[in-house]
Structure 1
Amino acid sequence: MEWFGGSYKENPFIMFSANHLIMLAFLLIISAWIFLFRTKLRAKDWRSSEIGLAILLTLFEVTYHVWLIRNRIWHVSDSLPLELCSISLLLTIILLLTKKKWVYEILLFTGLLGATQALVTPLLYYDFPHFRFLHFFFTHFMMIWVPLYFTWVKGYRPTIWSVVKLLLFLNVLLPIIMAVNKLVNGNYMFLRHKPESASLLDYLGPYPNYIFSMEGLLIALSLLIWLLFRKKAGNKPIRPKGLPR
């Protein structure tokens, strides 16, 4: 049983096809729009929209799991929300609902790094207009746009301690994911082997070396994001609404 678009054999996703490139262009256009219109966006109260978006993301994710179950392709080995992007989606929803700074600090890095890599080299089988195509791009877009919105519009900024928090968060998470992988014969976060499709991991060496390469690359890229998004001297601070004084 399929929903919204037929089987992947009838309409397979092709990397860097016209549909894929359109989605990447859309990501860049809306990201630029958030930045260019950040001053006008600050003038409005978006709280109801933030909560509505959190509810919509939750509904999309629940629907996705219902779709997996109805098509008998939900498996404990690969359908639990334990991938980095699944965790980023959960953090996106939590940030929209709570506006917690520590959630933003982690999501800024996992969203910009993990979701961006996933969008460039998607592990996806269904093309537009299939539900899975829409679910994949909508949720991954929000993992990027929401932290950008909280940065440019709400005034949140990372510090060097944000990078430390990210590393602590991931290094506490990794042994848990590895234990789950062993228990359910899974490959969450690609900690047992590389994905079958092309990805950045192809350039990071064989197993298990690429895991250590990933961590080194994560540190380097996280420091780059911190340098790009940190509060710079001379900039007028924007007080994030909802943060304690």
Structure 2
Amino acid sequence: MSHFGLFSTEHILSIGGYLLFYLIILFVSQFFSKKSFATVISCFIVIMKTAELVIRNGVYGETIQQLIPIHLCNVTLILAVITMIFPSKNVFQIIYYWSIGAVAAILFPDSRVGFPNFVGISFFVTHFFILFAVVYQMVYSGYRPTLKGFFASFVWINIFAGIVFKINEILGTNYMYINYKPAFQSPLDYFGPWPHYIIIVEIIYVVLGLLCYLPFRKRHFKYTNI
């Protein structure tokens, strides 16, 4: 297997196709019970992700320790599934800001195969589901990102990264690409050696997180008599 070309025709069509697919799903969801629809689609995603992991282990020979769901996007996916079934304003805040990682993964995918291979399909479907879960809860639950939520997400991502760093040392893995750079082409290639690229990623996360918050900030207007 080999990575399909970054921003190749296949990559661009994949992004556009899956985006259109989820927009259709969002439109269709309005004709069903919101709770039932969220539960059904979340269960489907769990089944799909489980099947992907089984195939990657049984067919492609990836080991169990390589398939532990502790990459940031996998953890965000788990939280997205949970909060779709059991809505939570606090968990939504984490998912909203951590979904930045899903966007990065879609633009710079660590996917060895593309359409029509099931593993490649699952990669995009599950990553786009994170974004779908955010939009779905904003539309139907009325949730909105907050500045407090951003700070909480920043604290939790650093705590989690510290834990994953130690797990990587023990297992010889590189979850979250925090112990060294990934083998595939990514923006991290331009951010210097370890640990400099981690610091730069932290800064980018803060900048992008604040930008994602700005459209939803509360505006206070002062009126004066002229």
User: Normalization by structure 1: what TM-score?
Assistant: 0.81
Q: Give, as a single letter, the amino acid of the residue that structure 1 aligns with 2:43.
A: I
State whether structure 2 residue 79 is matched by structure 1 residue 91: yes
Query: C-alpha separation between the residues in 2 aligned to 1:232 and 1:132?
Result: 44
Question: What's 2:155 paired with?
Answer: 168
Question: What's 1:19 paired with?
Answer: 10
Is residue 42–residue 154 contact of structure 1 (8 Å, CA) maintained in 2?
no
Deviates most, 67-76 or 134-143: 67-76
Identity of aligned residues (%): 28
Is residue 77–residue 187 contact of structure 1 (8 Å, CA) maintained in 2?
no
Query: C-alpha separation between the residues in 1 aligned to 2:148 and 2:141?
Result: 20
Write the deviation string for residues 43-76 of structure 1: whole angstroms up to 9, x where unpaired.
8632111000111111011111211221262324
Report the CA distance between 1:178 and its aligned residue.
0.7
Query: C-alpha separation between the residues in 2 aligned to 1:211 and 1:141?
Result: 25
Is residue 151–residue 157 contact of structure 1 (8 Å, CA) maintained in 2?
yes
CA 1:56–1:32: 2 relative to 1, 3 Å: closer
Question: What's 1:190 paired with?
Answer: 177
Kindly report the root-mean-square deviation, in angstroms, between the aligned alpha carbons of the 2 structures. 2.5
CA 1:27–1:222: 2 relative to 1, 3 Å: farther
Report the CA distance between 1:135 and its aligned residue.
0.5
Query: C-alpha separation between the residues in 1 aligned to 2:139 and 2:83?
Result: 15
State whether structure 2 residue 91 is matched by structure 1 residue 100: no
Matched ranges for 1:206-217 at <5 A:
206-217=193-204
Is residue 117–residue 200 contact of structure 1 (8 Å, CA) maintained in 2?
no
Query: C-alpha separation between the residues in 1 aligned to 2:53 and 2:218?
Result: 39
Is residue 18–residue 124 contact of structure 2 (8 Å, CA) maintained in 1?
no
Query: C-alpha separation between the residues in 1 aligned to 2:172 and 2:9?
Result: 36
Query: C-alpha separation between the residues in 2 aligned to 1:173 and 1:42?
Result: 36
Query: C-alpha separation between the residues in 2 aligned to 1:228 and 1:30?
Result: 25
| Number of matched pairs | 221
Question: What's 2:134 paired with?
Answer: 147
Is residue 34–residue 152 contact of structure 1 (8 Å, CA) maintained in 2?
no
State whether structure 2 residue 57 is matched by structure 1 residue 69: yes
CA 1:42–1:155: 2 relative to 1, 3 Å: farther
Report the CA distance between 1:120 and its aligned residue.
0.8
CA 1:78–1:50: 2 relative to 1, 3 Å: same
Deviates most, 177-186 or 72-81: 72-81
Of 74, 77, 81, the residue aligned with 2:69 is 81
Report the CA distance between 1:42 and its aligned residue.
6.5
SS at 1:126 equivalent: coil
Query: C-alpha separation between the residues in 2 aligned to 1:161 and 1:59?
Result: 34
CA 1:230–1:148: 2 relative to 1, 3 Å: farther
Instruction: List alignment gaps of at least 5 residues for structure 1.
Output: 1-7, 235-245
SS at 2:66 equivalent: coil
Deviates most, 21-30 or 64-73: 21-30
User: Normalization by structure 2: what TM-score?
Assistant: 0.88
Instruction: List alignment gaps of at least 5 residues for structure 2.
Output: 222-226
Is residue 18–residue 125 contact of structure 2 (8 Å, CA) maintained in 1?
no
Query: C-alpha separation between the residues in 1 aligned to 2:112 and 2:156?
Result: 31
Tell me which protein shows more helix as a share of its residues. 2
Question: What's 2:224 paired with?
Answer: none
Report the CA distance between 1:103 and its aligned residue.
1.2
Is residue 204–residue 210 contact of structure 1 (8 Å, CA) maintained in 2?
yes
